[in-house]
Amino acid sequence: MVAPRSRTPLVLGIVGGIACLGLVLLLVLGGIVGYLVLKEGSETAADPGPSTPAAPGDDSGAGELVAPPGVSEDQPYLELSSSTDGPVVDVHLDFLCPHCRTFQETQGEDLAELAQDGAVTLRVHPRPMLDASSTPAGYSGRAAHAAICAYAEDPEQWFPAEAALFENQPGSEGLTDEELVEIVDGATGLDISACQAEGTYQPWLQEVVEPDAQATTSGTPTVLIDGTEFTGDLAAPGSVKEAVEAA
Protein backbone atom coordinates (compact mmCIF):
# COMPACT_ATOMS: atom_id res chain seq x y z
CA MET A 1 0.00 0.00 0.00
CA VAL A 2 1.40 3.34 -1.05
CA ALA A 3 1.41 6.03 1.61
CA PRO A 4 -0.44 9.30 0.69
CA ARG A 5 1.83 12.11 -0.44
CA SER A 6 2.20 15.22 1.71
CA ARG A 7 0.66 18.38 0.27
CA THR A 8 3.16 20.63 2.06
CA PRO A 9 5.56 21.09 -0.90
CA LEU A 10 2.65 22.06 -3.12
CA VAL A 11 1.44 24.63 -0.63
CA LEU A 12 4.90 26.02 -0.21
CA GLY A 13 5.29 26.26 -3.96
CA ILE A 14 2.05 28.19 -4.31
CA VAL A 15 3.00 30.54 -1.48
CA GLY A 16 6.42 31.06 -3.01
CA GLY A 17 4.88 31.82 -6.42
CA ILE A 18 2.53 34.36 -4.94
CA ALA A 19 5.43 36.01 -3.09
CA CYS A 20 7.47 36.23 -6.28
CA LEU A 21 4.51 37.67 -8.16
CA GLY A 22 4.02 40.25 -5.40
CA LEU A 23 7.69 41.19 -5.58
CA VAL A 24 7.47 41.63 -9.34
CA LEU A 25 4.38 43.84 -8.95
CA LEU A 26 6.16 45.97 -6.33
CA LEU A 27 9.13 46.43 -8.66
CA VAL A 28 6.86 47.42 -11.55
CA LEU A 29 4.91 49.89 -9.39
CA GLY A 30 8.16 51.32 -8.04
CA GLY A 31 9.43 51.84 -11.56
CA ILE A 32 6.22 53.58 -12.61
CA VAL A 33 6.26 55.88 -9.57
CA GLY A 34 9.93 56.70 -10.12
CA TYR A 35 9.30 57.52 -13.77
CA LEU A 36 6.41 59.83 -12.91
CA VAL A 37 8.48 61.64 -10.24
CA LEU A 38 11.38 62.17 -12.65
CA LYS A 39 9.03 63.36 -15.41
CA GLU A 40 7.32 65.87 -13.11
CA GLY A 41 10.67 67.16 -11.91
CA SER A 42 11.96 67.68 -15.45
CA GLU A 43 8.80 69.47 -16.53
CA THR A 44 8.98 71.75 -13.49
CA ALA A 45 12.59 72.62 -14.30
CA ALA A 46 11.72 73.31 -17.93
CA ASP A 47 8.79 75.54 -17.01
CA PRO A 48 9.61 77.61 -13.88
CA GLY A 49 6.35 79.54 -14.17
CA PRO A 50 5.81 83.28 -14.59
CA SER A 51 8.70 85.54 -13.63
CA THR A 52 8.40 88.45 -11.25
CA PRO A 53 8.41 91.80 -13.09
CA ALA A 54 11.37 94.06 -12.38
CA ALA A 55 10.67 97.06 -10.20
CA PRO A 56 10.63 100.49 -11.91
CA GLY A 57 14.17 101.71 -12.39
CA ASP A 58 15.59 98.24 -11.71
CA ASP A 59 17.99 97.47 -14.55
CA SER A 60 18.76 93.98 -13.20
CA GLY A 61 15.89 92.51 -15.25
CA ALA A 62 14.60 93.51 -18.63
CA GLY A 63 11.13 95.00 -18.38
CA GLU A 64 8.52 94.78 -21.08
CA LEU A 65 9.54 96.77 -24.13
CA VAL A 66 6.96 99.51 -24.66
CA ALA A 67 7.50 102.10 -27.39
CA PRO A 68 6.04 105.62 -27.10
CA PRO A 69 2.62 106.19 -28.72
CA GLY A 70 2.76 106.06 -32.51
CA VAL A 71 6.25 104.49 -32.47
CA SER A 72 6.91 100.90 -33.53
CA GLU A 73 8.95 98.77 -31.14
CA ASP A 74 11.97 98.64 -33.47
CA GLN A 75 11.87 102.34 -34.42
CA PRO A 76 14.84 104.08 -32.73
CA TYR A 77 13.52 107.65 -32.87
CA LEU A 78 10.57 109.95 -32.27
CA GLU A 79 9.19 111.43 -35.47
CA LEU A 80 8.25 115.00 -34.58
CA SER A 81 7.11 116.05 -38.04
CA SER A 82 6.53 114.59 -41.48
CA SER A 83 7.12 116.17 -44.87
CA THR A 84 6.29 114.81 -48.30
CA ASP A 85 8.98 116.77 -50.14
CA GLY A 86 11.37 118.04 -47.46
CA PRO A 87 14.53 116.26 -46.30
CA VAL A 88 14.67 113.77 -43.44
CA VAL A 89 16.64 115.20 -40.52
CA ASP A 90 17.84 112.87 -37.76
CA VAL A 91 19.10 114.47 -34.55
CA HIS A 92 20.97 112.40 -31.94
CA LEU A 93 21.26 114.02 -28.51
CA ASP A 94 22.00 113.26 -24.87
CA PHE A 95 20.61 115.41 -22.08
CA LEU A 96 23.88 115.28 -20.10
CA CYS A 97 26.04 116.24 -23.09
CA PRO A 98 27.30 119.88 -22.80
CA HIS A 99 27.72 120.18 -26.57
CA CYS A 100 24.11 119.06 -26.99
CA ARG A 101 23.02 121.93 -24.76
CA THR A 102 24.91 124.34 -27.00
CA PHE A 103 23.37 122.69 -30.04
CA GLN A 104 19.88 123.09 -28.62
CA GLU A 105 20.50 126.74 -27.81
CA THR A 106 21.72 127.53 -31.33
CA GLN A 107 19.69 125.13 -33.50
CA GLY A 108 16.68 124.07 -31.41
CA GLU A 109 14.38 126.95 -32.33
CA ASP A 110 15.16 126.61 -36.05
CA LEU A 111 14.46 122.87 -36.01
CA ALA A 112 11.20 123.39 -34.13
CA GLU A 113 10.05 125.96 -36.70
CA LEU A 114 11.03 123.72 -39.64
CA ALA A 115 9.06 120.87 -38.05
CA GLN A 116 6.02 122.97 -37.29
CA ASP A 117 6.02 124.33 -40.85
CA GLY A 118 6.15 120.80 -42.27
CA ALA A 119 9.37 121.61 -44.10
CA VAL A 120 11.22 118.55 -42.83
CA THR A 121 10.67 115.07 -41.47
CA LEU A 122 12.31 115.53 -38.08
CA ARG A 123 13.43 112.48 -36.16
CA VAL A 124 14.92 112.83 -32.68
CA HIS A 125 17.00 110.06 -31.13
CA PRO A 126 17.15 110.72 -27.35
CA ARG A 127 20.16 108.69 -26.21
CA PRO A 128 21.10 107.37 -22.77
CA MET A 129 24.73 107.38 -23.97
CA LEU A 130 26.21 109.08 -20.89
CA ASP A 131 24.32 107.08 -18.27
CA ALA A 132 27.59 105.91 -16.71
CA SER A 133 28.94 109.48 -16.47
CA SER A 134 26.54 110.67 -13.77
CA THR A 135 26.60 109.98 -10.04
CA PRO A 136 24.44 108.08 -9.43
CA ALA A 137 24.53 106.51 -12.88
CA GLY A 138 21.55 106.73 -15.21
CA TYR A 139 20.80 110.46 -15.52
CA SER A 140 20.87 110.57 -19.33
CA GLY A 141 18.26 107.85 -19.64
CA ARG A 142 16.04 109.32 -16.92
CA ALA A 143 16.13 112.80 -18.47
CA ALA A 144 15.39 111.37 -21.91
CA HIS A 145 12.54 109.39 -20.38
CA ALA A 146 11.06 112.55 -18.84
CA ALA A 147 11.01 114.23 -22.26
CA ILE A 148 9.46 111.11 -23.80
CA CYS A 149 6.74 111.14 -21.14
CA ALA A 150 5.86 114.66 -22.28
CA TYR A 151 5.87 113.49 -25.90
CA ALA A 152 3.57 110.60 -24.97
CA GLU A 153 1.02 113.08 -23.63
CA ASP A 154 1.36 115.50 -26.57
CA PRO A 155 4.09 115.20 -29.25
CA GLU A 156 4.20 119.00 -29.64
CA GLN A 157 5.33 119.25 -26.02
CA TRP A 158 8.64 117.61 -26.87
CA PHE A 159 10.16 120.92 -27.91
CA PRO A 160 9.48 122.90 -24.69
CA ALA A 161 10.39 119.88 -22.56
CA GLU A 162 13.67 119.43 -24.45
CA ALA A 163 14.56 123.13 -24.16
CA ALA A 164 13.80 123.19 -20.42
CA LEU A 165 15.81 120.06 -19.68
CA PHE A 166 18.85 121.47 -21.47
CA GLU A 167 18.40 124.86 -19.83
CA ASN A 168 18.50 123.10 -16.46
CA GLN A 169 21.26 120.67 -17.42
CA PRO A 170 23.15 119.55 -14.30
CA GLY A 171 26.72 118.44 -13.85
CA SER A 172 27.69 114.85 -13.21
CA GLU A 173 25.49 114.81 -10.10
CA GLY A 174 22.38 114.72 -12.27
CA LEU A 175 18.89 115.57 -11.06
CA THR A 176 16.31 113.53 -9.19
CA ASP A 177 13.16 112.25 -10.88
CA GLU A 178 11.18 114.73 -8.77
CA GLU A 179 13.26 117.59 -10.17
CA LEU A 180 12.87 116.32 -13.73
CA VAL A 181 9.10 116.10 -13.28
CA GLU A 182 9.04 119.65 -11.94
CA ILE A 183 11.07 120.99 -14.88
CA VAL A 184 8.82 119.32 -17.46
CA ASP A 185 5.69 120.47 -15.61
CA GLY A 186 6.95 124.06 -15.56
CA ALA A 187 7.69 123.98 -19.30
CA THR A 188 4.63 122.12 -20.54
CA GLY A 189 2.01 122.10 -17.80
CA LEU A 190 1.99 118.29 -17.96
CA ASP A 191 2.12 116.04 -14.91
CA ILE A 192 4.46 113.21 -15.92
CA SER A 193 5.10 111.97 -12.37
CA ALA A 194 3.38 108.60 -12.84
CA CYS A 195 5.00 107.99 -16.25
CA GLN A 196 8.44 108.87 -14.89
CA ALA A 197 8.05 106.70 -11.80
CA GLU A 198 7.01 103.68 -13.86
CA GLY A 199 9.96 103.99 -16.26
CA THR A 200 7.70 102.74 -19.03
CA TYR A 201 9.96 103.63 -21.96
CA GLN A 202 13.35 102.80 -20.42
CA PRO A 203 13.59 99.38 -22.13
CA TRP A 204 12.91 101.06 -25.49
CA LEU A 205 15.68 103.60 -24.82
CA GLN A 206 18.19 101.00 -23.70
CA GLU A 207 17.36 98.19 -26.13
CA VAL A 208 16.35 100.05 -29.30
CA VAL A 209 17.49 103.68 -29.37
CA GLU A 210 21.00 103.30 -27.95
CA PRO A 211 22.12 100.15 -29.83
CA ASP A 212 21.00 101.67 -33.14
CA ALA A 213 22.80 104.94 -32.38
CA GLN A 214 26.01 103.12 -31.45
CA ALA A 215 25.89 101.30 -34.78
CA THR A 216 25.24 104.39 -36.91
CA THR A 217 26.82 107.43 -35.21
CA SER A 218 29.96 108.35 -33.31
CA GLY A 219 28.46 110.49 -30.55
CA THR A 220 26.24 113.45 -29.71
CA PRO A 221 25.16 115.83 -30.97
CA THR A 222 24.92 114.34 -34.45
CA VAL A 223 22.73 115.56 -37.31
CA LEU A 224 22.00 113.51 -40.42
CA ILE A 225 20.31 115.14 -43.43
CA ASP A 226 18.85 112.51 -45.73
CA GLY A 227 21.23 110.00 -44.15
CA THR A 228 24.38 112.11 -44.62
CA GLU A 229 26.08 113.47 -41.53
CA PHE A 230 26.19 117.26 -41.28
CA THR A 231 29.84 118.23 -40.90
CA GLY A 232 29.41 122.00 -40.52
CA ASP A 233 29.63 123.97 -37.29
CA LEU A 234 26.81 122.76 -35.05
CA ALA A 235 27.44 125.66 -32.68
CA ALA A 236 26.99 128.33 -35.36
CA PRO A 237 23.45 129.80 -35.31
CA GLY A 238 21.50 129.00 -38.49
CA SER A 239 24.04 126.51 -39.86
CA VAL A 240 21.76 123.48 -39.76
CA LYS A 241 18.77 125.40 -41.14
CA GLU A 242 20.82 126.59 -44.09
CA ALA A 243 22.00 123.05 -44.81
CA VAL A 244 18.44 121.71 -44.56
CA GLU A 245 17.06 124.34 -46.90
CA ALA A 246 19.84 123.60 -49.40
CA ALA A 247 19.15 119.85 -49.34
Q: Is residue 132 part of a domain?
A: yes
Q: Is residue 57 part of a domain?
A: no
Q: Is residue 109 part of a domain?
A: yes
Q: Is residue 61 part of a domain?
A: no
What pLDDT shows up at residue 51? 31
Q: Is residue 205 part of a domain?
A: yes
Distance in angstroms (rounded) separating the CA atoms of residues 101 and 171: 12
Domain CATH for 95: 3.40.30.10
Q: Is residue 217 part of a domain?
A: yes
One digit per residue, the tens of pLDDT, for the chain of length 247 reads 444 444 544 444 444 444 444 444 444 445 544 444 344 444 433 333 333 333 333 343 358 999 999 999 999 999 999 999 999 999 999 999 999 999 999 999 999 999 999 999 999 999 999 999 999 999 999 999 999 999 999 999 999 999 999 999 999 999 999 999 999 999 999 999 999 999 999 999 999 999 999 999 989 999 999 999 999 999 999 999 999 999 9
Distance in angstroms (rounded) separating the CA atoms of residues 238 and 247: 14
Q: What are the phi and psi torsion angles at 148 (to 5°)?
A: -70, -35
What pLDDT shows up at residue 62? 54
What pLDDT shows up at residue 11? 41
> Other C-beta atoms within 10 Å of 128: how many?
23
Residue whose C-alpha is closest to residue 165's, from 203, 149, 214, 59: 149
Grouping H, G, I as helix, E, B as strand and the rest as coil, residue 76 is: coil
Q: Is residue 164 part of a domain?
A: yes
What pLDDT shows up at residue 223? 98
Q: Is residue 149 part of a domain?
A: yes
Q: How many domains does the chain divide into?
A: 1
The boundaries of the domain holding residue 214 are: 91-246
